[in-house]
Structure 1
Amino acid sequence: MTELTSNRSSSLLRHLFVRFGFLVAFFAFFVFFAAWNPVFLQGGNLLNIVEGSAILLIVALGMTLIVATGGIDLSVGIALDFGAAFAIVAMKSYGADWITAAALGVSGGSIVGIVNAILVVGLRISPFMATLGTFFIGSSVQRIFTNGGGPISHRRMPDEFRNLAMGDIGGVPVEVIVAAVLCVIYFLVLERSIHGRRIHAMGMQRSASIVAGIRVNRVLIASYIVAAMTCAVGGLIAAASIRMFTPLSGFSYLLDAIAAVFIGAALHPRGRPNVLGTIAGVLFLGMVVNGLNLMGLNFNVKDALSGIILVSALALAVAQRKMR
């Protein structure tokens, strides 16, 4: 009887850990930062967390799409950089209006997706190696174009383009609205459409998807292009924020985007990438960065703690998926 009770208790704890382990960690950090500095709970600071996470969320959405297909995209930062570069150059060198510049920026990002699609689908290179190759190629292109990596500034950009990062509608920052719209679109496509079911089916069992008649190559091509274009939108906001294009600045979003996707997958009952989970993962990372900043820690100590927390969160996510 005692052994049976012990087994039931162990099973219950296992179930609670699998279902709510990350949520408990999220809440624990939230309470800790709130207790350490009351400023953390102020509305303005919470809005800063959301606003500061907008670009990462946009990039993480593109990563979510690719991971859902069963792949990985190490070139999301390059797509972001191309989006910023094409838009800045179009306005500064060719006098393009802000709408044309934004369209060219998104088109520039799509080039990265097209290259990835050619490598993965056409040449059958693994997504990891293909997108890693695109990353190195894109990095070199940026250095060559900027004569070694110097930034391209445009202080007189149109106010409409600048408002992508600095404007607001009804008190809500435009970049937050853009990220929210993309979240809704991605959620409807990935979680509420036949196309989304096909994507998840490919991610879970590629061979079975082919047998079922899913046009895997067509879905992959579309996914890589759409993901790159999404990241390019993040590049537009980044360029509008600092009024310049900084080569290789998109790399800083890569690891956090991967972490957010896998943390989010740990929250799903089936352990698969999903939009709501990715949002939670991004907000968790944004909360940690904001909380550590409010603690006033030394720069090096803060980075070390951020890394430890990130690795711990990923380890928790992996443990949840294995136990599931």
Structure 2
Amino acid sequence: MASETASTPLWRDIVVRFGFLIVFALFVVFFAAWNPVFVQGQNLMNIVEGSAILMIIALGMTLIVATGGIDLSVGIALDFGAAFAIVAMKSFGIHWFGAACIGIAGGALVGLLNAALVVGLRISPFLATLGTFFIGSSVQRIFTNGGGPISYRQMPDEFRSLALGDLFGIPSEVIIALVLAAIYFFVLERSVWGRRIHAMGMQRSAAVVAGIKVNRILFLCFVMASATCAFGGLIAAANIRMFTPLSGFAYLLDAIAAVFIGAALHPRGRPNIPGTVAGVLFLGVVTNGLNLMGLNFNTKDALSGIILVAALALAVAQRNMRKS
């Protein structure tokens, strides 16, 4: 063992241990050199604040991926959270807190449908959540007569504070994301339930033999993930005082990328909350930095895609080197 360690090239050891962090730091240095505004305190806070909704969506995605599945309907859960809350306040005059609870329940309905398809009908998570995505998209178009937004300019200030409030200078949406991240960290990394989830994700048949009630856990995970994504919808609705149909789809691919970057960084290659948070912040840094460079829309999107693919490739390479 000692001889193997001694013969390992130094560069390989550095890549395995710190490759992604080094690339992350290089991007920060590059963007700071291009535009010094990048490292100013207000801009750094903008990066964190702008990543809050994506972080919330990625937390729900992490939970599902940890079970060995995938959820393509996280954006629908976000949309339902926003739509249910705004309609409850605007059309039925429900108190803002009750409307927020209704929004979370609306998002949970998406998880219930996914759970019924996956657990009840034994459809694969990919196909089940893809079907939920199409159903949810159609429902939104029908409800809004083709996809028009639902605005609510008289939105209560208390509800708007979900996006525009702060506590000791920390934006409320960041606080919500951090609280949810802490809850997810405890559930996935520090609880018996979390160990059972990871056991399902690594080898479901072995988990069944071990007596783990995989169907019950999977059912609860889908509902919990969708309800979590609904928090993102509440924040989005509070920020712009409207519900925009299908707006949640914009977060889907980035959420998947953040989760798989984080999983590749884990020593065992499993989804984990710290890794997901790192992936979200990396995407936030790239997006903000490219915006400060003043690139046109098409060029920025192309570079974002290239950087994302390169980051995923590096993270996977780290994991493969770690195993070899």
Q: TM-score range by the shorter chain?
A: over 0.9
Q: In the TM superposition, what are the counterparts of 1:13-52 in structure 2 within 5 Å?
A: 13-52=11-50
CA RMSD after TM alignment: 1.4
Cα distance change on mapping 1:6 and 1:203 into 2, 3 Å: closer
CA distance in 2, matches of 1:18, 1:113: 37
CA distance in 2, matches of 1:55, 1:5: 44
**Structure 1 runs not aligned, ≥5 long:** none
1:57 counterpart residue number? 55
1:8 counterpart residue number? 7
1:200 counterpart residue number? 198
1:318 shift after superposition: 2.5
1:175 counterpart residue number? 173
1:102 shift after superposition: 0.2
1:213 counterpart residue number? 211
**Structure 2 runs not aligned, ≥5 long:** none
1:235 counterpart residue number? 233
Task: Decide whether the 8 Å contact of 1:165 with 1:173 is kept in 2.
Answer: yes
Residues 156-204 of structure 1: per-residue CA shift (max 9 Å, x gap): 0100000100111111100000001001100011000100000001100
CA distance in 1, matches of 2:32, 2:269: 30
Which residue of 164, 167, 175 corresponds with 1:166? 164
CA distance in 2, matches of 1:105, 1:140: 19
CA distance in 1, matches of 2:298, 2:118: 39
Residues 104-147 of structure 1: per-residue CA shift (max 9 Å, x gap): 00000000000000111111111101100000000000000000
Task: Decide whether the 8 Å contact of 1:19 with 1:269 is kept in 2.
Answer: no
Q: In the TM superposition, what are the counterparts of 1:1-324 in structure 2 within 5 Å?
A: 8-10=7-9, 12-323=10-321, 324=323
CA distance in 1, matches of 2:205, 2:75: 30
1:6 shift after superposition: 12
1:322 shift after superposition: 3.1
CA distance in 2, matches of 1:203, 1:221: 14
- The letter for the 2-side match of 1:8 is S
Count of residue pairs the alignment pairs up: 320
CA distance in 2, matches of 1:313, 1:169: 34
- TM-score for both structures, normalised by structure 2: 0.96
1:298 shift after superposition: 1.6
- The letter for the 1-side match of 2:237 is A
Structure 1 counterpart SS, 2:199:
helix
CA distance in 2, matches of 1:87, 1:67: 28
- The letter for the 2-side match of 1:251 is F
Residues 295-320 of structure 1: per-residue CA shift (max 9 Å, x gap): 11122111111111111112222223
Structure 2 counterpart SS, 1:177:
helix
CA distance in 2, matches of 1:173, 1:17: 35
Structure 2 counterpart SS, 1:150:
coil
Task: Decide whether the 8 Å contact of 2:267 with 2:319 is kept in 1.
Answer: no
CA distance in 1, matches of 2:117, 2:274: 30
Residues 260-319 of structure 1: per-residue CA shift (max 9 Å, x gap): 000111221111100000000000000000001111112211111111111111222222
- TM-score for both structures, normalised by structure 1: 0.96
Structure 2 counterpart SS, 1:13:
helix
Instruction: Give the percent of matched residue pairs that are identical in Structure 1 and Structure 2.
Output: 77
Task: Decide whether the 8 Å contact of 1:69 with 1:203 is kept in 2.
Answer: yes
1:24 shift after superposition: 1.3
Structure 2 counterpart SS, 1:199:
helix
1:18 shift after superposition: 2.6
